[in-house]
Amino acid sequence: MLFCYFWPEKKVWRVVEKRLSEMKPREKGIIVTVVGGPPSLKKRILDMGLVRNTEIEVIRNAPLGDPVEFRALGYDLCLRKDEARYVVVRVEKES
C-alpha cells in the first residue's frame, strides 16, 4: 500500500491504494491500474472506460452485496466484486 500525508489547514489526508471491491458507498478514487485476471475480463474492464487516471465513485451495493454500482465518466455501471478486485484505486482519506 502507498501512504502519503498532506497537511492542508491542519487536516491530515492519507492516500491509500486499494482494490475497487474494497471501497464503500459514496467513496471516490482514481484508477491506478487493472491487474491480473483473465485477459478477456481485463479487456472488458478497459473497454468500459476504466483506464488509468479515471475518477470512479461507488454509488451503492446490491441488497446482498453483489454486484456493486459505480459511476465513472458520467455513466453508471455495475461490476461483481470478483471482477472489481482486479482494479486498483488510489483513495484520499481524512485522518
Cis peptide before 67 (omega within 30 of 0): yes
The single residue listed with the C-alpha cell 441488497 is: 63
Domain containing 25 equals 5-94
pTM to 2 decimal places? 0.78
pLDDT band per the 50, 70, 90 thresholds, residue 6: low
pLDDT at 88: 93
Domain total in the chain: 1
Kindly report, residue by residue over 7-56, the tens digit of the pLDDT: 556 666 678 889 988 899 999 999 999 998 899 999 999 998 899 999 99
CB 91 within 8 A of CB 27: yes
CA separation for the pair 67, 11 (Å, rounded): 34
> Residue 24 gets which letter from DSSP?
P
Q: Domain containing 69 — which CATH number?
A: 2.30.30.90
pLDDT at 42: 92
